[in-house]
Amino acid sequence: MRLRVFGAVLVSSALLVGTGQAVAAPERGAGSIVWQPCAEAPAIECGFLELPVDHARPKGEKFQLAVSRRKASDPSRRIGAMIINPGGPGGSGVEFSFVAEGIFSKEITDRFDVIGFDPRGVARSAPIRCSADVLARQPSLYPKSRAEFDAVVAYNRELRADCRKNTGPLFDHVSTTDVAHDIDAIRRALGEQKINFFGVSYGTFMGQQYAELYGRNIRAMVQDSTVDHSLGTWKFIETLSRGVAGVFDEWVKWSDRTPSSPFHGRDLRAIWKGLLSKADRGELKDAQGNVVTAEALGATVQGMGYLPEWQWFADHVAALEQGNPVGAFAKTELVEFPAVAVFCDDWNLRVRSWGEYQAVHAMDVRTSPETRGNALGHTFLVACAGLPKASNPQRPLKIRNAPKILMTNSKYDPATVYEWAVNAHRQSRDTTVFVTYEGWGHVVYERSACTRKINDDYLLSLKLPRDGTRCAAVEPIVSAKTTNRPWLSDHGLIRIPT
């Protein structure tokens, strides 16, 4: 398992570029999409929409935005187009559309054209390009001294300059505000008066910004696993750490009630504390002989919480306890820059000095000592250090002209933590209806019959539940290999084992 930012990259001799099969963009006039069968999924159509790099200069330089369309299976009952995004930042909506039938109910795919897109700078949409040799020199994301912190800052600036040079003008226009304008351009190209939008994780942030700018163009919008874009550096880290601490606590409770856990009837907290001490002494090794750090153990807690994978994690921890090397713990020193570029343009999470870094990191670890803080927030905190201010910085959510929006979140989500959803709903109480899934994991839609029905009823008939509705928890699946949640096999900052 590897700590990563969604928006994987491929090495191509001197450059690292966003993933996605290369597809030649056909010639077309602005504002139109020429559809053709997707190479990876011929039953789905793919195309490109030519858009301005800078929406403030519509006649300026253009780029090609990759778009996909899975047509409604029952066109006689078609409701409209539903644009989807799986989050990240850096997730491919095109690839998300390829697995739509395995995610959404048949009634949804019967009655909606499911529209995917790769956000600007990602995958097929003019991906951010960085030199492989520069990326290979990345220093540790856990600096131990002022000199190491200064080296991280210098490296971040070098990498940003390199990626900006290799990417061109688009690099300065990859914020989520830019993406919101792109979404409305897709709506116009499709010829739709209003759209439906289903956003997951960071995709909820796209939905929020679209609703602020183009609320009147929305028929229905689902924000599944909600981002709170109002938080400053300290609150961002603190809330994530509390969420991860809660995930660890839930794993311990699962072990206490589950006979299949190798720690059932044992003091798991004491065992875990002992493993952290061994990790600090460099005594834990993976199958390749690499040291498993305490930070890697903590990152794996956050990663397995996405499904969650209680049993898988317990079995691996048991192997470590017995001195058997395992090969599936997070590597906390690897960051892929395309997603960082987007995030650092959306958030002013900037530690300005070694002293400030120490203070924030100490708070992070103090808030969730069992996981040594939270790997997700720490990654962004360090990767953004020393970079210019964000063009789309944090602010309270203000949606005024949109219809009612469905907002959902798991109570024990390790990535978009429950506090975020509560706070985002508080900021948009007049326009959002909030539903809590009382259980575990990242992404709500498929968690139970209750969560699916609430989503489907809203999307199909605009029927909304009472604000504050709660769906009961359902025991999580046993193995990632049996899950019917393909978006979770490689979603967010942390890769889930498969």
Range 186-211 average pLDDT: 98
Range 224-252 average pLDDT: 98
d(CA 229, CA 236) in angstroms, rounded, equals 9
Range 46-58 average pLDDT: 97
Q: Which residues of 463-486 are buried (b: 16+ CB within 10 A; e: fewer)?
A: ebbeeeeebebbebbeebeebebb
* pLDDT greater than 80 at residue 31: no
Q: What's the pLDDT score for residue 476?
A: 80
**And the tokens for 57?**
């200069």
Q: What's the pLDDT score for residue 14?
A: 36
Confidence of residue 289 (pLDDT cuts 50, 70, 90): confident
* pLDDT greater than 60 at residue 479: no
Q: What's the pLDDT score for residue 249?
A: 98
β-sheet bridge partners, residue 36: 46
**Weakest mean pLDDT among 56-70, 350-364, 448-462, 483-497:** 483-497
Q: Which residues of 196-221 are buried (b: 16+ CB within 10 A; e: fewer)?
A: bbbbbbbbbbbbbbbbbbbbebbbbb
Q: What's the pLDDT score for residue 486?
A: 38
**Weakest mean pLDDT among 326-330, 398-402, 428-432, 472-476:** 326-330
DSSP-derived secondary structure letter, 145: S
**Weakest mean pLDDT among 128-142, 333-347, 397-411:** 333-347
* pLDDT greater than 60 at residue 151: yes
Closest CA to 118 of 49, 168, 55: 49
Closest CA to 458 of 490, 491, 435: 435
Q: What's the pLDDT score for residue 5?
A: 32
* pLDDT greater than 50 at residue 464: yes
Do the bridges between strand 130-131 and strand 15-18 make them parallel or antiparallel, or are there none, so unpaired? antiparallel
d(CA 1, CA 5) in angstroms, rounded, equals 13
How high does pLDDT run on average in the chain? 89
* pLDDT greater than 70 at residue 356: yes
Q: What percent of the chain has pLDDT over 90?
A: 84
Q: What's the pLDDT score for residue 172?
A: 97
Q: What's the pLDDT score for residue 4?
A: 30
β-sheet bridge partners, residue 37: 45
The secondary structure of 28-83 as a DSSP string is --TT-B--EE-SS-TTSEEEEEEEESSTTSTTS-EEEEEEEEE--S-GGG--EEEE
